[in-house]
């Protein structure tokens, strides 16, 4: 499984921690984010990762910015992308189980690195429940 990861300046430390954490678990990681704390615009890194996901070059994505909202707003403009924000492990589980999010968005300025790891774990391991949730996600794109 290959996971893309993108971040703005608010998420560099979290990206590095998650890359180490997930690499140790055997996942392949592709870095679309910035590697410095110099200020950048989240959309500039969000769109290339969304394009890679819709092209099948990565299987899933993780995005980090200060609140998560800039990333989610940018990513969700792409057809086929369901980028869901999660700030607790239970929301991480539900954003897969109910929304089948193919990109997990994390608010780096409002969670710790260990919380980010726990949220990612739940999102990666939860099965999508399908059924009524499949019907609902099919209604997202107008």
Q: Provide the mask over 60-99, with x wherever binding to ligand RB5 is found by CB under 6 A and - wherever it is not.
A: -----xxx-xx-----------------------------
Q: Cα–chain-centroid distance for residue 96? A: 11
Question: Annotated catalytic, 65?
Answer: yes
Facing residues of 31 across strands? 5
DSSP-derived secondary structure for 96-112: HHTT--SEEEEEGGGS-
Neighbours of 96 (CB within 10 A): 23
Question: Annotated catalytic, 98?
Answer: yes
Query: Can you tell me which residue has the tokens 């403009």?
Result: 77
Q: Provide the mask over 11-50, with x wherever binding to ligand RB5 is found by CB under 6 A and - wherever it is not.
A: -------------------------------x--------
Closer by beta carbon to ligand RB5, 4 or else 70: 70
Residue 8 contacts ligand RB5 per CB under 6 A: yes
Least gap, CB of 29 to ligand RB5 (angstroms): 20
* DSSP 8-state secondary structure symbol assigned to residue 108: G
Contact with ligand RB5 (CB under 6 A): which of 3, 5, 6, 10? 10
Distance CA 30, CA 80 (A): 19
Facing residues of 61 across strands? 4, 103
* Interface residues toward ligand RB5, by CB under 6 A: 8, 10, 42, 65-67, 69-70
């Amino acid at each position: 499984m290959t996971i893309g990861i993108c971040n703005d300046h608010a998420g560099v430390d979290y990206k590095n921690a998650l890359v180490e954490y997930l690499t140790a678990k055997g996942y392949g990681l592709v870095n679309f984010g910035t590697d410095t704390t110099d200020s950048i615009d989240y959309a500039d890194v969000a769109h290339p990762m969304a394009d890679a996901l819709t092209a099948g070059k990565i299987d899933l994505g993780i995005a980090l910015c200060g609140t998560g909202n800039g990333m989610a707003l940018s990513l969700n403009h792409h057809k086929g992308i369901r980028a869901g924000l999660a700030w607790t492990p239970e929301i991480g589980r539900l954003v897969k189980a109910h929304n089948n999010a193919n990109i997990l968005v994390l608010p780096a300025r409002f969670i710790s690195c260990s919380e980010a790891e726990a949220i990612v774990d739940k999102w990666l391991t939860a099965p999508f429940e399908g059924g009524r949730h499949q019907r609902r996600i099919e209604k997202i794109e107008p």
